[in-house]
Amino acid sequence: MLERVGISEGDIASTTTDSGSNVRKAEADLDAPWIPCAAHALSVAVRKALGASSESANQRAIRVAAGGRAARRHIKACPNPSARELLSQLRTTTTFFKHSDAEAHRLSAIIVSGDTAIRGLVSEVATRWGSTYLSLARLYSMWPRLCYCLPLDGADGGPA
């Protein structure tokens, strides 16, 4: 394969990949040292700590085959109670605004001094790196608007 693109095995000093067994197996034939991808390892560690899915590629293939393409990845419970509560409220709040156009419009219509950008909350995506962080960052940046919009006690069915 390497010869097709004009690379000899001697030109390779090392390989850097994620820890997927399929990739590791493919690079096992090379005589170069393997260096795990630090960004991927950090992402996996954070996702595991926050309770995101840690299924393997084989587990995913079996799950998708059994449930079709619409099958959703299971998000495990976060082992940290405070983070678990924060993520639960984040998901509830995001879902509330994603499922109610009227509430989303009401949120975007709130004028906050120094914040003129109109944007919505961001949902987590189990297969996208950093989506939990992006979702939390957007929640934080929209907090002044959310304080005007959300009920304090959840009495009208919205997030408490």
Please identify, among 38, 67, 96, the residue that sits at the C-terminal boundary of a domain.
Answer: 67
Domain shared by 10 and 59, yes or no: yes
Question: Any bridge partners for residue 16, and if so which?
Answer: 35
**Structural domain range at position 42:** 2-67
Task: Name the residue type at position 119.
Answer: R
Does a structural domain hold residue 75? no
Q: What DSSP letter does each residue of 15-82 carry, written as one string?
A: EEE-S-HHHHHHHTTSSS-EEE-HHHHHHHHHHHHTT-----HHHHHHHHHHH-TTPPPPPPPPSSHH
Domain count, the chain: 2
Does a structural domain hold residue 160? no
Does a structural domain hold residue 51? yes
Does a structural domain hold residue 154? no
Phi, psi of 78 (to 5 degrees): -70, 135
Please identify, among 40, 67, 94, the residue that sits at the C-terminal boundary of a domain.
Answer: 67
Domain shared by 61 and 116, yes or no: no
Question: What predicted TM-score, i.e. pTM, was given to this entire model?
Answer: 0.56
Q: Tens-of-pLDDT digits for all 160 residues of the chain?
A: 678 888 888 888 888 888 777 877 877 778 888 888 888 888 777 777 776 555 555 566 676 677 655 445 555 566 777 877 888 888 889 999 999 999 888 888 888 887 777 788 888 877 777 788 888 888 888 888 888 877 655 454 445 5
Domain shared by 45 and 98, yes or no: no
Does a structural domain hold residue 116? yes
